[in-house]
Amino acid sequence: MFSLQSAMLSTTERILHQCTAATTVRARSTVSSIEVPGPKCYPLIGCLPSMITDKDFDKECVYRYFMKLFKLYGPIVKVKFPGQPTMVLVNKPEDAEKVFQLTMNNPVRVTMEALRKGRYINPYYEKKAGIVTENGEEWWRVRSKVQVPVLKPKNVINYLKDMDQVTLDFLDRLSKLRNSEGEVTVDLKEELTKWSLENVCLVALNRRVGCFDPNLSPGSQPEVIIKAAQDFMKAIKECETGSKLWKIFPTKTFKQLQLSMQKLTETCETTVQEMETIMREKETADPNCQLNMVEQLIREPGLTQKDVVTFMVDLLPGGTETASDNAAVILYLLAKNPRVQARLQEELDHVLGDGSEVISQNQLAQLSYTKAVFKESNRLMPPMFGPVRILQEDVELGGYTLQKGWLVFLMNALSGWDEAQFPRHSEFIPERWLRHRPLGQIHPCAIIPFSHGTRMCVGRRIAEQELYVLVARTLHRFNLEWKHGDLERAYKFVFSPKGPLKFTFNERK
């Protein structure tokens, strides 16, 4: 997703009202002549004047500004920010679905410019930036090869036993980090990052790296991987949402991105070489031996070793950050909603029994309320605003003509807060996702935290599995409490929890 904060400062209702006349024009105009409504746009500076005088604007809560726009102009709004192409904000799931349909054959999105540049100037990558940031033929060349092994349920299930053990080890560690009242004495966000990275390393590196070791020495492999993954995501956020001076000269943050990417690349390249040696031995002993996910990628015709390394490098920090943030939100909402927590525990007690056995595929399939909790958490506190598409041709949407080259920003997060889409939208009600849909039908594009179609997050099944296991094991063992104020989240590329997270974990009796 591209930067909005670099162009946004604030807005004012006075200027927003300047375009209300467009609503009247829309009612009596033909489809082809209707101007997409939005705040007044000026040459060079675009909609900037409509933002810089808004006393309520907060760059970390930019969604409030978007909500104002939708309230004033309707579900499709045009905006223009300095240095950015014209952008159309879309709020209705029905319109999002149509955009996906219209762009399904060539889903082009805004690239991570800093990551792209970092790889293009690094000879190792040979002018190939990977599926996270490429578009067109190069993106599809790799995406078409990796999606089957990575999204195949059987391949993901093969990691279930190890992911279960990672979570059990994580909870054992937390139990030792509590005070006499059961409150965890460290920032849970940091611990969740270690939990998530340990899970991702099971897939990307085919091994555990020891993130929970309390005595990690500086320079040890786990410490290097942890720091590199964290620095990588931090640098990406800063480069994509900051001043972008890195385009002119190598800033400190851009150098941090290059350094962390280099360390991850070296780690993944060494791993691939080791796995190739092991595979040759396995295949010599048994030509029909089962290969793990990364081994299948290595053997995939049309993928080079560097393609696999690039994919692994993206998976390590990307999968870590999104899963840990998502986990924090789910645990917070459960801690704040004792009724939901109790119902979830009823399901877990029934399915897991005493919890002494490894969680099985069959048990995971029975956790319908657990999965509903996951969906409702992503509705109420979504990980990001939603997908972006760059139009490759003119399209008709909602009675307007959207032009080739425009950005269409599918504001999926705001759909989740719309009473018309979700009755009692401010309440945490996982039951709304159960099969009988007690609060009404839900549009399939109303909540899509992993995007949709061929540009859907390729690590979706991995992330879902590790989060289901975390919720199941945590709530089966503990009662959660949150004794502080409301959890705040900042928006910088994605939504991330602010401040230290202090939960109370009390053993269930």
Instruction: Say which amino acid occupies 362.
Output: N
What interhelical angle do 305-336 and 188-204 show, nearest 10? 150
Average pLDDT over residues 13-29: 35
Residue 22 has pLDDT above 80, yes or no: no
Per the rule left: phi > 0, alpha: psi between -120 and 50, beta: everything else, 193 is alpha
Render pLDDT for 440-464 as a digit per residue (tens, 0 to 9). Answer: 999 999 999 999 989 999 999 999 9
Residue 227 has pLDDT above 70, yes or no: yes
| 82 band by pLDDT with thresholds 50, 70 and 90 | confident
Render pLDDT for 349-361 as a digit per residue (tens, 0 to 9). Answer: 999 999 999 999 9
Question: Which backbone phi and psi does 505 adopt, to 5 degrees?
Answer: -115, 110
Cα end-to-end span (Å), the chain: 45
* Residue 16: per-residue pLDDT: 32
**Averaged confidence pLDDT in the chain:** 89
* Residue 180: per-residue pLDDT: 94
Which residues, listed in sequence order, are joined to residue 494 by a DSSP beta bridge? Answer: 492
* Residue 33: per-residue pLDDT: 47
Average pLDDT over residues 226-250: 90
* Residue 48: per-residue pLDDT: 85
Q: Greatest CA separation found in the chain?
A: 76
Residue 19 has pLDDT above 60, yes or no: no
| 17 band by pLDDT with thresholds 50, 70 and 90 | very low
Closest CA relative to residue 312, chosen from 278, 254, 279, 266: 266
Average pLDDT over residues 419-432: 96
Average pLDDT over residues 71-81: 93
| Residue 57: both structure tokens together | 């604007």
Strand 87-90 with 407-410, pairing:
parallel
Collapsing DSSP to helix, strand or coil, 478 comes out as: strand
Could you give the count of Cα atoms lying within 13 Å of 504 in the half-sphere of its Cβ? 13
| 57 band by pLDDT with thresholds 50, 70 and 90 | confident
Catalogue the long-range contacts made by 495-498 (C-beta closer than 8 Å, 24 or more residues apart): 495/325, 495/381, 495/382, 495/383, 495/384, 496/321, 496/325, 497/189, 497/325, 497/328, 497/329, 497/332
Using a 10 angstrom Cβ sphere, with 0-12 exposed, 13-18 middle and 19 or more buried, the burial of residue 460 is middle
| Residue 203: both structure tokens together | 């897939």
Render pLDDT for 115-139 as a digit per residue (tens, 0 to 9). Answer: 999 999 999 999 999 999 999 999 9
| Residue 226: both structure tokens together | 């942890």
* Residue 4: per-residue pLDDT: 39
Residue 14 has pLDDT above 50, yes or no: no
* Residue 11: per-residue pLDDT: 32
Give exposure, 399-412, as e/b (b: 16+ Cβ within 10 Å): ebebeeebbbbbbb
* Residue 15: per-residue pLDDT: 30
CA–CA distance, 264 with 461 (Å, rounded to integer) = 23
* Residue 321: per-residue pLDDT: 87
* Residue 509: per-residue pLDDT: 81
CA–CA distance, 371 with 468 (Å, rounded to integer) = 7
| 55 band by pLDDT with thresholds 50, 70 and 90 | confident
Render pLDDT for 357-412 as a digit per residue (tens, 0 to 9). Answer: 999 999 999 999 999 999 999 999 999 889 999 999 999 999 999 999 999 999 98
Render pLDDT for 458-481 as a digit per residue (tens, 0 to 9). Answer: 999 999 999 999 999 999 999 999
**Torsion sign across C-alpha atoms 411, 413, 414, 420:** positive
Please give the domain boundaries of the chain with CATH numbers for all domains: 85-507 (1.10.630.10)
Render pLDDT for 154-185 as a digit per residue (tens, 0 to 9). Answer: 999 999 999 999 999 999 999 999 999 999 99
